[in-house]
Amino acid sequence: MTQTRRDVGEVLWFGIEGPELSAARAAALNRGEFGGVILFKRNLQIETIGSGVEAQEVIDLDALAALIAAVHRAAPSDSPALVSVDQEGGVVQRVRAPATRWPPMLTLDRLAPPDDVAVAEQVGRALGRELGALGFDVDFAPILDVHTNEANPIIGDRALGRAADTVARRALALARGLEAGGVLGCGKHFPGHGDTHTDSHLELPRIDHPWSRLEAVELAPFAAAAKADVPMVMTAHVVFAALDDQVPATLSPKAITGVLRQRLGYRGVIVSDDLDMKAIAANYGIAEAAVLAIRAGCDVLLCCRDAGHQDEATAAGARRREVERGTGPARRGGQRVRALKARAARARAAAAPFDRRDIGSLAHRQLADRLAGG
């Protein structure tokens, strides 16, 4: 495989179909056709213990660790696949019992400064220890969206606060804790999903705030994340009229390259939110969206569920003339992803040896109780 083709593969991160890695997916990984994997509930083996209000879903940790190890084994030795997950706390945490169940991160409001920041960093480290013990490399957390709209149907108590400076302080602490624990974090969703009235999983939201408001509120945590060298930032499928009133941020060079890269000075990896979401798939189609997102400045394209969409994204990326020349945005994205993989390896090596006994440990459950106000 040429370096250009490998760069195309590095920028594509896919979901897989079930609790085991199929032979076809393993072969595609080995060929370098995609550079990372994101796991969801469908990839877990789950048993329900008890019944009625006492029922609890318990995942098979051995099976999950085996799946992650299979992904790592399948990838080329010179370009290891990164395995990622959404493990925020509250409603968005894929790995459940016997792992620690974390309350929503907005419960940090229970704590006064500087305790809120100290606990956020401790939570990040605990998350990193538990995910790292299973083999994960990346956690798509923390949320950098500012919770300014109580009617927001998608962010809500996933946010770390109601003011920009509060979100920035807590989110950066959580990201530091994650990396110290051995797993890389990802701030999301640029330029800010906290004041939308609709859910981008279902339709294309729009925010009409003027630039002065965006700079003071929505963008401020991302500016802090750029300064702190957070490893990854995820985009939002939201139209921000003050930045680009034509296309959502994920597909906008004005937003991604003009604001995040140039104005805020962000140097890490920029990853799209899932291109399968209706805000993108229903309005643009995957093939077009994949090319537009790369041109806008995204380094990684997430395509989480639909195998047909993944094929479209692969074909779209591979056939573009700018990619085939090896001088276009996908080449730069491939270089950044390889640097991210090296950073993930350094974080894992620098962390204390992982111990499966950390998963759901008493210390972590006590920390979760403190966060919840117990």
Cα 5 from Cα 323, distance rounded (Å): 8
Catalytic residue among 60, 199, 201, 306: 201
Distance of CA 232 to the CA centre of its chain: 8
Cα 184 from Cα 201, distance rounded (Å): 25
Tokens matching residue 326: 């090896």
Q: Strand, helix or coil at 364?
A: helix
Per-residue three-class SS string for 29-93: HHCCCCCEEEECHHHCCEEEECCHHHCEEEECHHHHHHHHHHHHHHCCCCCCCEEEECEEECCEE
Catalytic residue among 273, 274, 276, 299: 273
* Annotation says 201 is catalytic: yes
Burial class (CB in 10 A: 0-12, 13-18, 19+), 92: middle
Provide the 10 A C-beta neighbour count for residue 245: 12
Amino acid, single-letter form, for residue 78:
D
* Annotation says 147 is catalytic: no
What DSSP line would sit under 124-188, residue for residue? Answer: HHHHHHHHHHHT--EE---B------TT-SSSGGGSS-SSHHHHHHHHHHHHHHHHHHT-EEEEE
Tokens matching residue 353: 């040896």
Tokens matching residue 217: 């509120």
The set of catalytic residues is 201, 273
